[in-house]
Amino acid sequence: MGEIEGISWDFWDTIIAHKNSDEIKKVDTERAILLSRILSISFEQAWNELKSHHPEEEGNTAQGLLVEERLKYLASKYQTSFDIHTIAQNISSISLKYKIGLVDGIKKVLQESPYRHVSICNTKWTQGADLKQLMNQEQITSYFENCYFSDIGLNAKPSVEAFRLAWRNSIDLKKTLHIGDNLNKDILGAINIGARSIVCRVIKNIPHEQDKISDGVLYSYDGLWGLIDLIMDKDPGKEWTLIGTGKPSSEIKRLTARIGNKMGNISLANTTATASAIISPYPIEKNTKIPGIYNFTGDMNSLKEHSLLLIDFIKGRVFKNE
């Protein structure tokens, strides 16, 4: 696979996010109350309708649906009527009422990036027009060649068509990398177009065992460029330092037990990696101390699926050793 020429970004929890889980619950609760009232159904029923998916939204030919279409379906299902356009605007704007903003580090990454960029979002109850306005308010629209929303483009991840439309046919999709937090939409979408992919765990930072289907896992944007270099194997055999938040006595031991032996050398076919733990007193963030620095030496590609585990279970940032 050749060099990366462009990066496509998922929208929610990769570029923009609610500040904490309480804010997300407030959005869902207010929306459920609104649906409950207009449809004359229980709060529990309304909550389930909010979380449900239409068949056309799923799979490799996924379509994007307008909020109005979702409401028309519910109005028919519960045999009621209301001003669909007005309710669609109201239910969309609820998301923007609560604490929401840029994911930490994303703006600096966009400012420093040598790559082309597009954003691509599967919308559901928040209209793409509102999300475009939010990106304008955060002053990041200029960093993207296109900001694609599925309710406007009417194709959704993981379909190839969604990625093609996001890039407006201006790039070989196999020369792109996609960053997102959803395995079924983002990472499978990248696989569908033959692109590299990174699971973004900056916000939803709990690792999933299926993260290994991607090329790498990122827990802080501070380490993005190092991780991309590592994935692309630009300097095979050189030493990389993975600065992790996992304690050496927990995740890293489980990792080394799965791959090879206990703490120390990890031997695989045609390569040797070193995962050595060094207790570090160096503060990386305000009020945060990183308890472990793990050194890795070896050819990332020859580690194959284990390369992801090395990054994932350390829960770290990746930096290249100069």
For residue 248, cis peptide bond before it (omega within 30 degrees of 0)? no
Residues 6+ apart with CB under 8 A from 248: 263, 277, 279, 291, 292
3-state secondary structure of 72: helix
Model confidence at 211, pLDDT cuts 50, 70, 90, reads confident
Which ranges of 143-223 does DSSP label H, i.e. alpha helix? Answer: 150-153, 160-167, 188-193
Spatial distance between the Cα atoms of 199 and 212, rounded to a whole number of angstroms: 9
pLDDT over threshold 50, residue 249: no
H-state helical runs in the chain: 21-39, 43-51, 67-77, 84-93, 106-112, 128-137, 150-153, 160-167, 188-193, 224-231, 251-259, 300-303, 305-312
Instruction: Indicate whether 315 pLDDT > 70.
Output: no
For residues 100 and 19, is the Cβ–Cβ distance under 8 A? Answer: yes
pLDDT digits (tens, 9 = 90+) for 141-182: 999 999 999 999 999 999 999 999 999 999 999 999 999 999
C-alpha span between 180 and 148 (Å, rounded): 14
The length of the chain is 322
Contacts (Cβ under 8 Å, ≥6 apart) of 250: none
107 or 273: whose pLDDT is higher? 107
pLDDT digits (tens, 9 = 90+) for 302-312: 444 444 444 44
Residues 299, 292: Cα–Cα separation, whole Å: 22
d(CA 314, CA 300): 16
pTM of this prediction exceeds 0.75: yes
- Residue 203 in contact with residue 32, Cβ under 8 Å? no
Range of lowest pLDDT (172-186, 256-270, 274-288): 256-270
* 180's tokens: 């997102």
272's enclosing H/E stretch is strand 271-278
Give the pLDDT confidence score for residue 281 in this predicted structure: 37
- What's the pLDDT band for 206 if we cut at 50, 70, 90? low
Q: Residue 213 in contact with residue 231, Cβ under 8 Å?
A: no
Residue 231 pLDDT > 80, yes or no? no
